[in-house]
């Protein structure tokens, strides 16, 4: 059986690590085996994280209080998760209740010009609830999970789509995982979302607008 480690991080020297340390020790991590850092999660050259990566061996387990403690950039976070996986180390996030050992099938893309092609081939689309993205996905009639809307327009968009049965909404990472899994396993739920998308999102709306302008303005 491997060794159980912990990693705790805050962004500045003025912030306190106590809450994370309490959570990690309650999960069974020896306080002496918790690597503590006071540095921004956007920085990749964190000394304590580097020391942890150099220490762990196959069969070990690393606990973190939440995914955000490991990194703020999605790309950096996934790279770190893959590094632990390649070393045979189990990574567990307490807040999200996720065992993150295997992400071998996950591929991170940078900026691409053919997002529509990826949407078209998707079984489920997970997206932020921007108006354009949400509408593009529903026009393609794809099961949709709208994730973690920020207050304002995104929140209104997510509520509109959810209240009209066109998506599932997720307010945190665990809900994203659970809702995505639910959709992948339930074909009838997928179909229900798509049917409501057809009801509320007109796939001929651009042509209808042109016809309206021609009929009511251009010919006058």
Please state the pTM of the whole predicted model.
0.62
For the chain, where are the alpha helices, taking DSSP H only?
Answer: 18-26, 47-55, 67-70, 74-86, 115-121, 131-139, 153-163, 173-185, 187-200, 205-213
pLDDT tens digit at each of 220 positions of the chain: 699 999 999 999 889 999 999 999 999 999 999 999 999 888 878 999 999 999 999 999 999 998 889 887 767 777 888 888 888 898 898 887 766 545 666 677 778 899 999 999 999 999 999 999 999 999 999 999 999 888 999 999 999 999 999 999 998 777 888 899 899 999 999 999 999 999 999 888 888 888 888 888 876 6
Sign of CA pseudo-dihedral 27, 28, 32, 34: negative
CATH of span 4-99: 3.40.50.1390
Smallest CA-to-CA distance from 141 within 125, 162, 163 is with 125
Q: Is 11 a known active-site residue? A: yes
Instruction: Report d(CA 65, CA 96) in Å as an integer.
Output: 9
pLDDT at residue 220 in the model: 60
Query: Of these residues, 11, 66, 68, 159, which one is catalytic?
Result: 11
Q: Where are the domains of the chain?
A: 4-99, 115-207
pLDDT at residue 103 in the model: 60
| Domain 4-99 matches domain 115-207 at the CATH topology level | yes
Instruction: Report d(CA 166, CA 191) in Å as an integer.
Output: 10
Contacts of 80-86 with C-beta under 8 Å, sequence gap 24+, read: 80/49, 82/106, 83/53, 84/53, 84/56
pLDDT at residue 72 in the model: 72
CATH of span 115-207: 3.40.50.2000
Q: How many residues does the chain have?
A: 220
pLDDT at residue 215 in the model: 85
């Amino acid at each position: 059986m491997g060794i159980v480690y912990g990693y705790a991080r805050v962004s500045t020297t003025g912030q306190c690590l106590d809450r994370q340390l309490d959570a990690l020790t309650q999960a069974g991590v020896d306080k002496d085996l918790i690597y503590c850092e006071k540095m921004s999660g956007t920085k990749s050259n964190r000394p304590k994280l580097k020391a942890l990566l150099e220490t762990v061996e196959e069969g070990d387990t690393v606990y973190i209080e939440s995914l955000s403690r490991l990194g703020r950039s999605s790309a950096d976070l996934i790279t770190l998760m893959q590094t632990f996986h390649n070393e045979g180390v189990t990574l567990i996030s307490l807040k999200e209740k996720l065992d993150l050992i295997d992400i071998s099938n996950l591929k991170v893309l940078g900026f691409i010009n053919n997002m529509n092609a990826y949407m078209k081939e998707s079984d489920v689309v997970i997206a932020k609830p921007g108006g354009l993205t949400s509408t593009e996905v529903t026009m393609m009639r794809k099961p949709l999970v709208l994730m973690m809307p920020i207050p304002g327009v995104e929140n209104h968009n997510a509520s509109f789509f959810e209240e009209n049965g066109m998506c599932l909404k997720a307010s945190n990472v665990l809900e994203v995982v659970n809702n995505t899994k639910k959709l992948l396993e339930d074909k009838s739920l997928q179909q229900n979302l798509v049917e409501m998308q057809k009801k509320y999102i007109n796939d001929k709306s651009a042509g209808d607008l042109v016809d309206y302008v021609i009929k009511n303005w251009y010919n006058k």
